């Protein structure tokens, strides 16, 4: 798979995690591909942390209005018929208050206990956390959607090395190699991509993967 195929593969698998009626916040990048792959009959409400529910990722048809509506990445967007605009305090009240069912975001590192680090590389890159810290603390389910490794180096670790975004908040990790659930007993590989062996998935992962008896092959 090339880079784009990998992204679409991950997005397609994450889409299966969403349920009809869910309120969902999608991070910038890969997660924005997920709506393209929603199963038939699954309709979700997208929350955009810059201030609305009902995010639609196409530019407003009304050109007069288009310049007033962007998504959280500053790209043109529009709003669904049942949507609503609000200020940033209301937006993060929705997020922190547990009114978002699922947030999907990328990460630089995730630990086997659900710790996540995705906002700063000290001395190199200081983009800031934006809404990520509130999202991972507030959303009912936190899904990390990312490539399994970075230039061959594992991103799924025993312990994060970068400053944390939050402790123990990740529920599920979906990569091109597999699907991993953070459970009390540890990180469980529930599905693996049959293009790889389970041993190859473990070799690309620093964290110890628990392999259950009922492990499945990833299906899209």
Residues that bind another protein (CB under 8 A): 48-52, 65, 67-70, 72-74, 76-77, 79, 85-89, 91-93, 95-96, 120, 125-134, 137-138, 163-167
The nearer residue to another protein, 5 or 87, going by C-beta atoms, is 87
| Least Å from the CB of residue 110 to another protein | 15
Compute the distance between CA of residue 50 and CA of residue 52 in angstroms, rounded to an integer: 7
| Least Å from the CB of residue 89 to another protein | 4
Confirm if 12 and 31 have CB atoms less than 8 A apart: no
Residues in a beta bridge with 70: 76
The nearer residue to another protein, 29 or 39, going by C-beta atoms, is 29
Smallest Cα–Cα separation from 22: which of 36, 9, 41?
41
The nearer residue to another protein, 135 or 189, going by C-beta atoms, is 135
| Least Å from the CB of residue 169 to another protein | 9
The nearer residue to another protein, 88 or 217, going by C-beta atoms, is 88
- Known active-site residue 49: yes
Confirm if 37 and 44 have CB atoms less than 8 A apart: no
The nearer residue to another protein, 89 or 153, going by C-beta atoms, is 89
Question: How do 109-111 and 116-117 pair as beta strands?
Answer: antiparallel
Active-site residue (options: 5, 40, 49, 195): 49
Alpha carbon 115 to its chain centroid, in Å, reads 14
- CA angle 196–202–203, rounded 5-degree value: 90
| Least Å from the CB of residue 77 to another protein | 8
| Least Å from the CB of residue 214 to another protein | 33
Compute the distance between CA of residue 187 and CA of residue 212 in angstroms, rounded to an integer: 10
Compute the distance between CA of residue 58 and CA of residue 40 in angstroms, rounded to an integer: 20
Question: How do 23-26 and 45-48 pair as beta strands?
Answer: parallel
Active site residue ranges: 49
């Amino acid at each position: 798979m090339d880079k784009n195929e990998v992204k679409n593969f991950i997005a397609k698998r994450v889409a299966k995690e969403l349920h009809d009626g869910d309120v969902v916040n999608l991070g910038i990048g890969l997660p924005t591909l997920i709506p393209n792959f929603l199963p038939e009959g699954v309709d979700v409400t997208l929350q955009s942390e810059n201030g609305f529910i009902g995010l639609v990722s196409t530019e407003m048809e009304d050109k007069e209005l288009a310049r007033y509506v962007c998504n959280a990445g500053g790209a043109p967007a529009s709003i669904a018929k049942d949507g609503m605009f609000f200020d940033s305090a209301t937006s993060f009240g929705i997020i922190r208050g547990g009114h978002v069912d699922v947030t999907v975001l990328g990460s630089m590192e995730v630990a086997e206990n659900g710790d996540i680090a995705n906002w700063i590389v000290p001395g190199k890159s200081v983009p800031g956390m934006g809404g990520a810290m509130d999202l991972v603390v507030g959303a009912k389910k936190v899904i990390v959607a990312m490539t399994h490794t970075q230039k061959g180096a594992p991103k799924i670790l025993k312990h994060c090395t970068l400053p944390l975004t939050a402790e123990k908040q990740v529920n599920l990790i979906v990569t091109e190699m597999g699907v991993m659930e953070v459970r009390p007993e540890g990180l469980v590989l529930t599905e693996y991509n049959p293009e790889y062996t389970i041993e190859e998935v473990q070799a690309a992962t620093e964290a110890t993967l628990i392999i259950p008896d009922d492990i499945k092959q990833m299906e899209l």
